[in-house]
Chains A and B, each alone.
Chain A
Amino acid sequence: MPVIRVDGQDYEVEAGGNLLETCLELGMDLPYFCWHPAMGSIGACRQCAVVQYQNEEDTRGRIVMACMTPVTEGAIIDLTGDRAAAFRRTVVESLMVDHPHDCPVCAEGGECHLQDMTVMTGHRDRHYRGTKKTYRNQYLGPLIHHEMNRCITCYRCTRFYRDYAGGTDLAALAAHDHVYFGRHREGTLESPFAGDLVEVCPTGVFTDKSLVHDYTRKWDLQSAPSVCTGCGVGCNTLPGERYGRLKRIHNRYNDEVNGYFLCDRGRFGGNHVNDAPRIDYPARREADGRFRALDQAACQAQLADCIAGKRLAGIGSPRAGLEANLLLQRLVGAERFNSGMDDGEHKLLQRSLSHLVNSAARNPSHRDIESADAVLVLGEDLTQVAARTALALRQSVRNEAYRLAAELKLAPWQDAAIRNLAQDRRSPLHIVSAGSTDLDDVAAGHYRLVADDQARLAAQIAAAIDGEPSGDAAVLRIRDDLLAAQRPLVISGASAGSAALLDGAAAIANALARAGREAMLSFTTPECNSLGQALLCRDSHASFESLEASGAEVLIILENDLLRRLSPERVEALRERIPIWIGIDSLETGTLAYCDLVLPAAAFTETEASFVSQEGRAQRAFPVHPPAEARRPGWQWLLALARAAGNTALVALEHFDDIVPTLAGEDPVLQGVMRAAPDHQFRSRGLKIPRQPHRYSGRTAMAADVSVHEPRLSEDRDSALAYSMEGSAAADRPAALLSYVWSPGWNSNQSLHKFQADIGGALRGDSGGARLLDELTMPAVAEAPRPEAFRRRDGQWLLQGRHHLFGSDELSRLSAGPAERAGRAHLYLHPNDAQSLGLAEGDGVTLEGCALELRIDASQVPGSAGYAVGYPETLALRSGQWVPLSVASDWQRPPQVIGSDREAAS
């Protein structure tokens, strides 16, 4: 390891890094703007200047940019000396020449990297007395606010948006010192990662629009480590709360999962806890069909009345935590417990679980995915289903560039040089899907097939890898690319609804492993705890039919909207067989209308829960604030139900942490959930870990309108976190308990490097989360029959689900911004099919009793129709259904939206 001398002191450092990274790793404060740990160096902002000396005799030295200077043995640099400091101060002063006097009304203030760096360089007095440049802002959609005056032209936004995330509609426009970062015309930013601009921008050019309109400074936010409930990826988040309202969701760094970035569904899809109709009190339905709120005593009496001595059945939920589901399963008995997914989905998840466990291929984390040098995606539009995984794939195709760079001895952080060197040369990515995907622009090949044909293609590829001859050019091409790689990756999932496709994906990965490759196999899962439910119900699962026949007298539904999974007729039928329904939910779903007793559950910001991600990683989400009114976490309601039912095994449970150790019994996989985070007895330096930063303000006035006598602080008996600003905020607290990132002098999220041992590596207090599948054993499943090849039928179309980042999941569309992005439900048809029906873009199409807006899409397989999954109008539709299409009568074309991107794009 090379030794470098910084300010007269020798340090032994890692080879291969640059001076900026190295100085930060050594704990020094060196200002920077354009460098980003995930995006490397370009040396644009001139802020990280240091003086480097050639040897001991050299007294003059020269100013170099630390981010562009590799660490070399014996390097002598001066970081705090006058010349370097004066240079950096001048750079900030020139950046501030045009910076507006906005800090008090800027949503970045208080966590602004520009503020931090200005203070750090010591620039205080402005010498420039001239005028300031101004810019007009653009409307960038319902999620992002634009304030171009504040820009310091560090180019981080376009480097992230275009180079890292593959967006096309944000660019550096105009010339010389008029450079403008925006769209070529006003309109919604299209990238599903546009929200990351909020965190990537070192100042307040891009800010979170919902936060701007209900603003709280970072130092006033109470936050706790949480896990995104948007999809199965399990990104780590930091929701921030004030006055009982969720203000914003920020990324929480986890080097194995989401790194520095979060998708827009995760970032903006949480506002439903404020916006959507919530239930505040337990209620009982009266004879007239209306619900009447119950006080605590009446509620207890009702619970006992409803379930004491009765035969219970339960429906769990893949959006509720594993603990609550486990409790419900034990309360009603495994034979009368439904995981909350319909039978088809449950079987697909069991199948993917079995493949993950029995395959010789590795089940990769996102970090592994980024290291793949050839990728095959089978049947998934990853950007819409598991957006963060798609972003990881976008990085994996750059491995070819890194390989070329290594040949020339270019360091991986030399971003501009490597992009210039590689140009369009990428590691192969092959996408087999039902329609175009957002990754097509970096794909070596894309193959548009319906699900059955996808499965057939997968089986052929697997056979070809095993040496069977094939005449299909696509098969050969994919086979050659996968075999040429060292770390090939196959990704599939349940979205296409095809068991044969999962088998095909596993067969390819196994064949690659047999061929001696470090093969990887990954499956997406639809919801945040889908895999947890699959694990919980791997031995016993009551289908909805068997619930009907179970003879149960009471049905307990945990945080699940059955109407999203079953037709209203099926729900009615179930309702007729089971006389008493108890619904526990945080949202006012349609299912609650069928219930006799409704119990208000805490939302994801108010309850502790463990979720198992698609990787099989159990991660713990902690409550950000105590639940208001009579809301209680789902697991506490279930304990109350257990008490009412006189269930002696469950009444002894007291803490959240007791649930899994007591109930999971001998199951080592479920017991592994306990490793996800430290338990409630954990203390850092003898103290609990605070949820509030040490500058949290207004404590003696926040509730003074109610009573001037300050209320006692809420106690958190179930976790090691405290609803307080007091406690231990040590930098090495466990990653799973990192409630906010802040370090002296570093108020912005750039302070993260103070919590990492190596820049871009694991946090000092480990990565957080526990991989469960490594200990799991499961019987192999019988191969699904190979489906028939697709043949189009006259007058009928084969339905294929097309997912949307906004709208296809249950929760994000309940928030105002994402709901606007989701728009109306639509149907995709090939241009020829549309023409044969006499339909044009924007017309209405009727199928199965619902009318959808038509989008003409040349990537749709002729003879098939793609429908937007998960919209209220399309809940009854299933992939693989054959349906006739007809022109919708009295269809109102949607109004033209000014600044619409689609109009601009066409």
Chain B
Amino acid sequence: MLGSLLSQLRTLGTVLRHTFTRAETVEYPEQKPYLAPRYRGRIVLTRDPDGDERCVACNLCAVACPVDCIALQQGVREDGRWYPEFFRINFSRCIMCGMCEEACPTAAIQLTPDFEMCEYDRQSMVYEKEHLLIDGTGKYHDYNFYRVSGLQIFGKDKGEALDEEPPVDVKSLLP
């Protein structure tokens, strides 16, 4: 009996004390909180340092997506690079979990701190590649997948990638 009375008094005291502390509430949207660059919000597709789109349409983001909201189709450009013919995210399903960013082997797909995606029409939440592709490298400035990969593309011959030897001369018997 006495214990519960004390508890109630302590609660009243706590409430009273909070009357004099500074308010944590932010007057959003007039006041915006600071969101770190690694905050998980809207997704963008980035470009490599040479300005070409990074996405190689490997489908790993699509298969990692727990709500299956990414669909794409691979194509091969004339210079030998794989690219997405279309790349579609249904943001009305997206839960901003960041699994696609983690899965992406080329650092193409990156989450941004922008989370303000309200639409009157749900159809407007479907983003295609032209809506997603930005002109920069995003958070990873130096990575260029094709400089690491063994695939030959225009402008990068076999043996010219990072840590590659020149192509083997199959006609040589020298050790």
Residues of A within 8 A of B74 (CB): 214-216
Residues of B within 8 A of A136 (CB): 158, 167
Given contacts A104-B106, A134-B166, A175-B173, contact A707 B123 (CB under 8 A): yes
Segment touching A, from B14-22, B27-35, B56-64, B110-118: B56-64
Complex alpha-carbon distance, A215 and B58, angstroms: 9
Residues of B within 8 A of A707 (CB): 123
> Which interface class (under 10, 10 to 19, 20 to 34, 35 or more) fits A?
35 or more
Are B168 and A133 neighbours in the complex by a CB distance under 8 Å?
yes
- Does A473 lie at the interface of the complex (its beta carbon under 8 Å from any beta carbon of B)? no
Complex alpha-carbon distance, A242 and B72, angstroms: 11
Residue from the list A109, A149, A700 in contact with B158, Cβ < 8 A: A149
16 more contacts with CB within 8 A, not counting A104-B149, A105-B151, A699-B68, are A100-B149, A103-B58, A104-B60, A104-B82, A131-B164, A132-B164, A134-B161, A135-B167, A212-B76, A695-B63, A701-B90, A701-B126, A705-B86, A705-B126, A705-B128, A708-B123
Are B58 and A133 neighbours in the complex by a CB distance under 8 Å?
no
In whole Å, how far is A289's beta carbon from the nearest beta carbon of chain B? 38
Complex alpha-carbon distance, A702 and B150, angstroms: 31
Complex alpha-carbon distance, A697 and B163, angstroms: 34
Are A101 and B150 neighbours in the complex by a CB distance under 8 Å?
yes
Given contacts A109-B58, A178-B170, contact A132 B68 (CB under 8 A): no
Chain A's closest residue to B76 (CB) is A213
- Does B42 lie at the interface of the complex (its beta carbon under 8 Å from any beta carbon of A)? no
Q: Which residues, 47 to 80 on B, are CB-close (under 8 Å) to A?
A: 56-60, 62-63, 65, 67-76
- Does B175 lie at the interface of the complex (its beta carbon under 8 Å from any beta carbon of A)? yes
In whole Å, how far is A551's beta carbon from the nearest beta carbon of chain B? 54
Are B92 and A134 neighbours in the complex by a CB distance under 8 Å?
no
Complex alpha-carbon distance, A100 and B167, angstroms: 13
In whole Å, how far is B76's beta carbon from the nearest beta carbon of chain A? 5
Complex alpha-carbon distance, A483 and B74, angstroms: 58
Complex alpha-carbon distance, A213 and B165, angstroms: 28
Residues of A within 8 A of B90 (CB): 700-701, 704, 708
Complex alpha-carbon distance, A557 and B33, angstroms: 71
Are B59 and A217 neighbours in the complex by a CB distance under 8 Å?
yes
Given contacts A212-B76, A695-B63, contact A701 B68 (CB under 8 A): yes
Are A132 and B150 neighbours in the complex by a CB distance under 8 Å?
yes
Are A697 and B165 neighbours in the complex by a CB distance under 8 Å?
no
Complex alpha-carbon distance, A243 and B122, angstroms: 23
Query: Which has the most chain B C-beta neighbours within 10 Å: A178, A696, A701?
Result: A701
Chain B's closest residue to A136 (CB) is B167
- Does B89 lie at the interface of the complex (its beta carbon under 8 Å from any beta carbon of A)? yes
Can you list 7 A-B contacts with CB-CB less than 8 angstroms, sorted by A residue number?
A: A100-B151, A130-B163, A131-B163, A134-B158, A135-B167, A178-B172, A705-B128
- What per-residue 1/0 map shows which CB atoms of B148-165 lie under 8 Å from chain A? 111110000011010111
- Does A895 lie at the interface of the complex (its beta carbon under 8 Å from any beta carbon of B)? no
Residue from the list A100, A104, A150 in contact with B56, Cβ < 8 A: A104
Complex alpha-carbon distance, A141 and B6, angstroms: 88
In whole Å, how far is A42's beta carbon from the nearest beta carbon of chain B? 23
Residues of A within 8 A of B171 (CB): 174
Residues of A within 8 A of B76 (CB): 212-213
- Does A137 lie at the interface of the complex (its beta carbon under 8 Å from any beta carbon of B)? yes
In whole Å, how far is B148's beta carbon from the nearest beta carbon of chain A? 5
Residue from the list A104, A137, A180 in contact with B58, Cβ < 8 A: A104
Are B69 and A700 neighbours in the complex by a CB distance under 8 Å?
yes
- Does B136 lie at the interface of the complex (its beta carbon under 8 Å from any beta carbon of A)? no
- Does B88 lie at the interface of the complex (its beta carbon under 8 Å from any beta carbon of A)? yes
Q: Which residues, 591 to 609 on A, are CB-close (under 8 Å) to B?
A: none
Complex alpha-carbon distance, A561 and B126, angstroms: 45
Residues of A within 8 A of B75 (CB): 213-214
Chain A's closest residue to B169 (CB) is A178
- Does A176 lie at the interface of the complex (its beta carbon under 8 Å from any beta carbon of B)? yes
Are B68 and A698 neighbours in the complex by a CB distance under 8 Å?
yes
- Does A588 lie at the interface of the complex (its beta carbon under 8 Å from any beta carbon of B)? no
Q: Which residues, 116 to 140 on B, are CB-close (under 8 Å) to A?
A: 122-123, 125-126, 128
Are A104 and B88 neighbours in the complex by a CB distance under 8 Å?
no
A-B contact count (CB 8 A): 144
Given contacts A130-B163, A174-B168, A704-B90, contact A698 B71 (CB under 8 A): yes
Chain B's closest residue to A213 (CB) is B76
Are A701 and B58 neighbours in the complex by a CB distance under 8 Å?
no
- Does A173 lie at the interface of the complex (its beta carbon under 8 Å from any beta carbon of B)? yes
In whole Å, how far is A18's beta carbon from the nearest beta carbon of chain B? 34
Complex alpha-carbon distance, A102 and B88, angstroms: 24
Residues of B within 8 A of A149 (CB): 150, 158
Given contacts A704-B126, A708-B122, contact A131 B165 (CB under 8 A): yes
Are A220 and B123 neighbours in the complex by a CB distance under 8 Å?
no
Residues of B within 8 A of A709 (CB): 122
Complex alpha-carbon distance, A104 and B143, angstroms: 15
Residues of A within 8 A of B175 (CB): 176
Given contacts A213-B76, A708-B90, contact A178 B168 (CB under 8 A): yes
Complex alpha-carbon distance, A493 and B67, angstroms: 55
Query: Which has the most chain A C-beta neighbours within 10 Å: B128, B148, B158?
Result: B158
- Does A219 lie at the interface of the complex (its beta carbon under 8 Å from any beta carbon of B)? yes
Chain A's closest residue to B72 (CB) is A698
Residues of A within 8 A of B128 (CB): 705
Complex alpha-carbon distance, A137 and B73, angstroms: 25
Residues of A within 8 A of B149 (CB): 100-102, 104-105
Complex alpha-carbon distance, A376 and B167, angstroms: 48
Residues of A within 8 A of B169 (CB): 178
Are A697 and B59 neighbours in the complex by a CB distance under 8 Å?
yes
Complex alpha-carbon distance, A816 and B18, angstroms: 76
Are B93 and A243 neighbours in the complex by a CB distance under 8 Å?
no
In whole Å, how far is A127's beta carbon from the nearest beta carbon of chain B? 14
Residues of B within 8 A of A215 (CB): 57, 74, 82
Chain A's closest residue to B74 (CB) is A215
Are A701 and B150 neighbours in the complex by a CB distance under 8 Å?
no
Given contacts A173-B170, A217-B59, A697-B63, contact A137 B152 (CB under 8 A): yes
Residue from the list A101, A214, A697, A708 in contact with B65, Cβ < 8 A: A697
Complex alpha-carbon distance, A212 and B58, angstroms: 12
Are B126 and A180 neighbours in the complex by a CB distance under 8 Å?
no
Complex alpha-carbon distance, A217 and B61, angstroms: 12
In whole Å, how far is B67's beta carbon from the nearest beta carbon of chain A? 6
Residues of B within 8 A of A102 (CB): 149-151
Residue from the list A100, A137, A173, A220 in contact with B62, Cβ < 8 A: A220
Are B63 and A134 neighbours in the complex by a CB distance under 8 Å?
no
Q: Which 9 A-B pairs have the closest CB atoms?
A: A100-B150, A698-B71, A104-B58, A701-B71, A697-B62, A174-B170, A215-B74, A149-B150, A701-B90
Given contacts A697-B63, A697-B68, A698-B62, contact A708 B126 (CB under 8 A): yes
In whole Å, how far is A816's beta carbon from the nearest beta carbon of chain B? 15
Are B59 and A135 neighbours in the complex by a CB distance under 8 Å?
no
Are B148 and A101 neighbours in the complex by a CB distance under 8 Å?
yes
Complex alpha-carbon distance, A132 and B164, angstroms: 5
Query: Which has the most chain B C-beta neighbours within 10 Å: A101, A695, A702?
Result: A101
Residues of B within 8 A of A135 (CB): 158, 167-168, 170
Given contacts A105-B82, A132-B165, A214-B74, contact A708 B92 (CB under 8 A): yes
Complex alpha-carbon distance, A212 and B81, angstroms: 11
Complex alpha-carbon distance, A213 and B81, angstroms: 11
Chain A's closest residue to B80 (CB) is A105
Complex alpha-carbon distance, A308 and B151, angstroms: 63
In whole Å, how far is A184's beta carbon from the nearest beta carbon of chain B? 10
Are B166 and A697 neighbours in the complex by a CB distance under 8 Å?
no
Given contacts A105-B151, A216-B74, A220-B63, contact A134 B167 (CB under 8 A): yes
- What per-residue 1/0 map shows which CB atoms of A119-158 lie under 8 Å from chain B? 0000000000011111111000000000101100000000
Complex alpha-carbon distance, A854 and B123, angstroms: 61
Residues of A within 8 A of B158 (CB): 134-137, 149
Are B68 and A220 neighbours in the complex by a CB distance under 8 Å?
no
Chain B's closest residue to A106 (CB) is B151
Query: Which has the most chain A C-beta neighbours within 10 Å: B56, B59, B92, B169?
Result: B59
Are B126 and A104 neighbours in the complex by a CB distance under 8 Å?
no
Chain A's closest residue to B148 (CB) is A101
